Chains A and B, each alone.
Chain A
Amino acid sequence: MALRKQQRLVVDPIACQAHGLCAELLPEMISLDDWGYPILAPGAIPPQARAHARRAVAACPTLALRLVAAADDAGHPGDRVV
Chain B
Amino acid sequence: MIVAAVNSKELWYLTRGSGLMALVLLTASVVLGISQIGRLSGPSMPRFVVAGLHRNVSLLAVVFLGIHIATAVADPFAPISAVDSVVPFVGSYRPVWLGLGALATDLLLALVITSLLRYRVGYRTWRAVHWAAYACWPIALWHGLGTGSDSRVGWVQVIYVLCTAAVLVSLAWRLTTRWSASDVAQRTLAALGVALVTVGLTAWALQGPLRPGWAKRAGTPTNLLGGSSSSSSTSTTPTGG
A21, B48: Cβ atoms closer than 8 Å: yes
Q: Does B155 contact A (CB under 8 A)?
A: no
A61, B46: Cβ atoms closer than 8 Å: no
Q: Does A59 contact B (CB under 8 A)?
A: yes
A59, B123: Cβ atoms closer than 8 Å: no
Q: Does A63 contact B (CB under 8 A)?
A: yes
A24, B46: Cβ atoms closer than 8 Å: yes
Q: Mark A41-65, 1 if CB is under 8 A from B, else 0.
A: 0000000000000000001011100
A63, B118: Cβ atoms closer than 8 Å: yes
B48, A63: Cβ atoms closer than 8 Å: no
Chain A residues, CB < 8 A from B119: 63
The distance in angstroms between the C-alpha atoms of A19 and B47, with both chains bound, is 8
> How many A-B contacts are there with CB distance less than 8 Å?
21
Within the complex, what minimum Cβ distance (angstroms) separates A42 from chain B?
24
Interface size for B (C-beta < 8 A) is 11
B118, A24: Cβ atoms closer than 8 Å: no
Q: Does B152 contact A (CB under 8 A)?
A: no
B48, A61: Cβ atoms closer than 8 Å: no
Q: Does A25 contact B (CB under 8 A)?
A: yes
Chain B residues, CB < 8 A from A21: 47-48, 51
The distance in angstroms between the C-alpha atoms of A15 and B52, with both chains bound, is 21
Within the complex, what minimum Cβ distance (angstroms) separates A66 from chain B?
9
Chain A residues, CB < 8 A from B39: 19
Chain A residues, CB < 8 A from B48: 21, 24-25, 59
Q: Does B36 contact A (CB under 8 A)?
A: yes
Q: Does A20 contact B (CB under 8 A)?
A: yes
Chain A residues, CB < 8 A from B123: 15, 62-63
Which residues in window 8-58 of A have CB below 8 A to B? 15, 19-21, 24-25
Which residue on chain A has the smallest CB distance to residue B123? Answer: A63
Chain B residues, CB < 8 A from A63: 118-119, 122-123
Chain A residues, CB < 8 A from B47: 19-21, 24
Chain B residues, CB < 8 A from A24: 46-48
Chain B residues, CB < 8 A from A19: 39, 47
Which residue on chain A has the smallest CB distance to residue B37? Answer: A61
Chain B residues, CB < 8 A from A61: 36, 51
Within the complex, what minimum Cβ distance (angstroms) separates B94 from chain A?
39
The distance in angstroms between the C-alpha atoms of A74 and B44, with both chains bound, is 39
Within the complex, what minimum Cβ distance (angstroms) separates B52 from chain A?
8
Given known A15-B123, A19-B39, A24-B46, contact A59–B51 (CB-CB < 8 A)? yes
| Interface residues in chain A, defined as those with a beta carbon under 8 Å from any beta carbon in chain B | 15, 19-21, 24-25, 59, 61-63
| Interface residues in chain B, defined as those with a beta carbon under 8 Å from any beta carbon in chain A | 36, 39, 46-48, 51-52, 118-119, 122-123
User: Mind listing 21 A-B residue pairs with CB under 8 Å?
Assistant: A15-B123, A19-B39, A19-B47, A20-B47, A21-B47, A21-B48, A21-B51, A24-B46, A24-B47, A24-B48, A25-B48, A59-B48, A59-B51, A59-B52, A61-B36, A61-B51, A62-B123, A63-B118, A63-B119, A63-B122, A63-B123
